Chain A
């Protein structure tokens, strides 16, 4: 079906420009992909900006009241800090400028810049989230592959039953129940924190101590994604199993193990990379409640303390930095996908 074009035929100047542009080499995919994040960063900043304006009344009033120093001068100072006395557009431009310089403001409650507070906590959350997704990916691929290769009805229904139940379980509740079983009843694992209070463990002892503290929160967070990875891997492997190149490999005499590990798995893994990027934001959300349950000193805990203290600067700073983090992870997964599978570049 042909539709009438809105811009009917480019004029001569446009045509010259188009020819000129074509004479340059095509920009590489990574450049194109990196440039794509610019508008997204702007949108994130814009959402943050308007979030502050959702507050009933004036944000300066709220913050002054909560900071415990409610004098007229202080409120005026806050208004000037936020630029509330200036037109909305000026406020917006100033805000964007500040955020782009990574000036996320000052946390009155903590007497520290928001950026340093957030960066301090980011590593704890990153450890939690990355370990969880790594374990979920490895175990999920293994289970999904086994399910696809055995083609067992029982394994299939077991996987979908676990997945359905996984989607219905409140993660924080699962965490609490794990504490009851493994920390209270069996007393195998610690229930809270990153290390023992006042711990002086060094070397190998310090490592095992960390791992013991990581075990429950990671298990909880990974359990949910395990189901997703298993499902996807099962679909991928059972589709690939019947592809021509797999049959060729078998026909030329490759052993079943070699067929699976060298021919099926590398291709099936590709889909997992995209999924990891897509799920990362959700993983961060999950870590908020998990951190609250296990007293893990990460961004989620910081966000909750910001809510209690009504420290909106800090709260929005956390939202911004964690969105940026997810954005970068997505960039890395997309680029590594393009590197592993050159066809992606051509289709862009």
Chain B
């Protein structure tokens, strides 16, 4: 474990930078009430204070005098929560479906592949928008909407991996010993395709954070939550003069997603040393 961690850190500065970014964002999300005692919805100062003009509001205030720094710190909670939930749910669904398709092959595989092609064709953001618009914009519905469009990506990868190990000696041996399909699938196949799936969690989490911010920016998020996307949406109204209100939350999204993909690349190099980084 320690040796693996050391190898991960030595795999290049990118992975280290990524981990540091993620730790900082995670710290902000967990310690939000301590780090930013102001409620992000409270009016704490004059409106339109530029960043750096007033030490009590280091990142300035918006058009209502709400603290932008508070919004960024508290927004990290929502982004990370949705990112990780969506990443884990999507990966688990994709992992099970992909492994089943690869293991059983035949018509099961054919059906799964056709369905996953379908999700590549339907514009995913439109589908997510439709799901959230119809079902309501709670966090669980947003995660559902992201998972529905995201699982095929994971399933394809896992299916290809499963194909590779399906004819391996240990799977054959398990079959000869008369184990049930479910047992072979969960005890022998899944553990061996777990590594690429773990990498997918960080990639899916990154794109989930982007999707959530797009939804919030378009006004489809939860109106009672301050998120990075909704802050950009609000800042847009005064883009021509107070552009910092848009620039700051966008930079937060960019840095977080960048951190996730750097860590993903690092993990990929660690867990799948033989393969190149998937784009």
Interface centre among B133, B136, B236, B239 (most CB of A within 10 A): B133
Known: A172-B217, A180-B239, A307-B220. A327 touches B121 (CB 8 A): yes
With A40-B114, A52-B134 in contact, do A173 and B120 touch (Cβ < 8 Å)? no
Q: In the complex, which range does the number of interface residues on chain B fall in?
A: 35 or more
Do the beta carbons of B122 and A319 come within 8 Å of each other?
Answer: yes
Tell me the minimal C-beta distance from B17 to chain A in angstroms: 11
Q: Flag if A44 contacts B118 (CB, 8 Å).
A: yes
Whether A282 is near chain B, meaning CB under 8 Å from some CB there, is: yes
Is A304's CB within 8 Å of the partner chain B? yes
Q: Is the CB of B254 within 8 A of A54?
A: no
Contact of B133 among A228, A292, A315 (CB under 8 A): A315
CA distance A122 to B229 in the complex (A): 27
Q: Complex Cα distance A306/B121, Å? A: 21
CB distance from B120 to the nearest CB of A (A): 6
User: Which residues in B have their C-beta under 8 angstroms from that of A195?
Assistant: none
- Chain B hits for A240, CB < 8 A: none
Which residue on B lies nearest to A285, using beta carbons?
Answer: B125
Q: A39-B114, A44-B118, A319-B127 are in contact. Are A173 and B253 (CB under 8 A)?
A: yes
Interchain CB contact under 8 A, A323 and B122: yes
Contact B130–A51 (Cβ < 8 Å): yes
Most A CB contacts (10 A, CB to CB) among B122, B232, B246 go to B122
Q: Is the interface of B mostly helix, strand, loop or mixed?
A: helix
Size of interface on A: residues with Cβ below 8 Å to B: 54
Query: Across the interface, do B114 and A43 meet the contact criterion of CB distance under 8 Å?
Result: yes
In the complex, A310→B134 CA distance in Å? 8
Nearest CB on A from B211, distance (A): 9
Flag A226-239 by CB within 8 Å of B: 1 or 0 each: 00100100000000
C-alpha spacing A31/B220, complex, angstroms: 42
Tell me, in angstroms, the Cα distance from A338 to B212 when the chains sit together. 38
Residues of A within 8 A of B123 (CB): 281-282, 284-285, 288, 319, 322-323, 326
- Cα of A307 to Cα of B117 in the assembled complex, Å: 26
Contacts of A47 on B, CB cut-off 8 Å?
Answer: 118, 122, 127
- State how many angstroms separate the Cβ of B275 from the closest Cβ of chain A: 14
B206 within 8 Å of A (CB atoms): yes
Residues of A within 8 A of B167 (CB): 1
Instruction: Return A182 CB to nearest CB of chain B, in Å.
Output: 13
Flag B132-148 by CB within 8 Å of A: 1 or 0 each: 01111000000000000
Neighbour of B257 across the interface among A168, A281, A316, CB < 8 A: A168
Asked whether, in the complex, the Cβ of B258 is within 8 Å of the Cβ of A165, the reply is: yes
For residue B222, CB closer than 8 A to chain A, the reply is no
Question: How far does the Cβ of B214 sit from chain A's closest Cβ, in whole Å?
Answer: 5
Q: A184-B243, A293-B236, A300-B126 are in contact. List 20 more A-B contacts (CB 8 A).
A: A40-B117, A43-B115, A164-B258, A168-B206, A168-B254, A170-B213, A170-B229, A171-B214, A173-B246, A180-B246, A231-B279, A285-B123, A285-B125, A288-B123, A289-B125, A289-B217, A310-B133, A319-B130, A326-B122, A327-B121
Q: Can you show 20 pairs from A to B with CB atoms below 8 A apart?
A: A40-B114, A44-B118, A47-B127, A163-B279, A170-B214, A170-B217, A170-B253, A173-B250, A177-B247, A278-B120, A281-B120, A281-B121, A285-B126, A288-B126, A288-B214, A289-B217, A304-B219, A307-B129, A315-B130, A315-B133
Ranked 3 nearest A-B pairs via Cβ? A285-B125, A173-B250, A284-B123
Q: Which residues of A contact B (CB under 8 A)?
A: 1, 39-40, 43-44, 47, 51-52, 54-56, 163-165, 167-173, 176-177, 179-180, 184, 228, 231, 278, 281-282, 284-286, 288-289, 292-293, 300, 303-304, 307-308, 310, 312, 315-316, 318-319, 322-323, 326-327, 330
